[in-house]
Amino acid sequence: MTIMDTDMDTIIRTEGTCTAGEAVDADGDTALLRLMTWLSPSFPVGAFSYSHGLEYAVEAGLVTNRDTLVDWVATVVARGAGRLDGALFVRAYAAMCDGDAAQMKDIMARADAMRGTSEMARESAAQGEAFLVTARRVWPDTRLDALADAAAADRRPVAYAVAVAAVTAAHGIALRPALTAFLHAAAANLVSAGVRLVPLGQTDGQRALAALEPVILATVTEVVVRPFEDVGTAAPMIDWASMRHENQYTRLFRS
């Protein structure tokens, strides 16, 4: 079965706990602790060094205050990388649950290819590699070792969304909270970058995150049931900002 053949029953099943999970009580405190650890700013993936094109958006005067920052990040989540990575996350989670190596190989290739710019590709690949390396060392699992071996054999990076999906599935954490935490962490990282770049006060940063809550929740609900052939982005200004950032004279961020 290919990714394109995944039926709605499989998608709905993955809204619950991965059937392959065995390491934690997926609805309990251990699962919550692991999600908070894995998607914390302190987890060593280097998220703080990426702005996903936001640095150029600030330079160009497109993001100048809290409201424009919220609009920018909401677009990333609902129409840009959040929409794309959410769909990839759901399919990678299902592939890990099913132990389907061919499906996982397919989704890794798609996740690697479907990036609008070279900086976005490096952002996803570098964080995915760092996440998988640390997770395997601290919370070992033979299925994650197999995933890393397959990626190395194909010389294919494991995108960040795929890495997080695989780890959460392997450890028996339910899809919906895992995906919600992943998208929230992505949004929080961009808000943090915006607070530094605009600049904004810390309270405005928290107000921005509060305003983004319904966007994150709606995106989770949509990507879980959206047909995979509808995967993609509709955020050309964000891609443009990322492309311009590649040649920006003064930069604090890697993307």
Token pair 């395997």 in the structure block, residue: 136
Q: What does the pLDDT look like over 57-115, one tens digit per residue?
A: 999 999 999 999 999 999 999 999 999 999 999 999 999 999 999 999 999 999 999 99
pLDDT of residue 229: 85
Within 10 A of 170 (CB to CB), how many other CB atoms are there?
Answer: 24
Q: State both tokens at 93.
A: 């989670």
For 46-66, the pLDDT digits (tens) are 999 999 999 999 999 999 999
Tokens of 178: 């895992």
Instruction: Report d(CA 189, CA 11) in Å as an integer.
Output: 28
The pLDDT score that the predictor gives to residue 2 is: 38
Please report which confidence band the pLDDT of residue 18 belongs to, taking 50, 70 and 90 as the band edges: low
φ/ψ of residue 100, rounded to 5 = -95, 95
Q: What is the rounded CA–CA span in Å between residue 97 and residue 14?
A: 8
Tell me how far apart the alpha carbons of residues 5 and 211 are, in angstroms, rounded to a whole number: 36
More confident residue, 160 or 248: 160
Question: Mean per-residue pLDDT for 28-53?
Answer: 94
Domains in the chain with CATH codes? 54-245 (1.10.4190.10)
Q: Which amino acid is at 130?
A: A
Given a cut of 70, whether residue 226 has pLDDT beyond it is yes
Query: Among the residues of 23-159, which ranges form H helices?
Result: 29-38, 54-59, 66-79, 81-98, 101-113, 118-138, 142-154
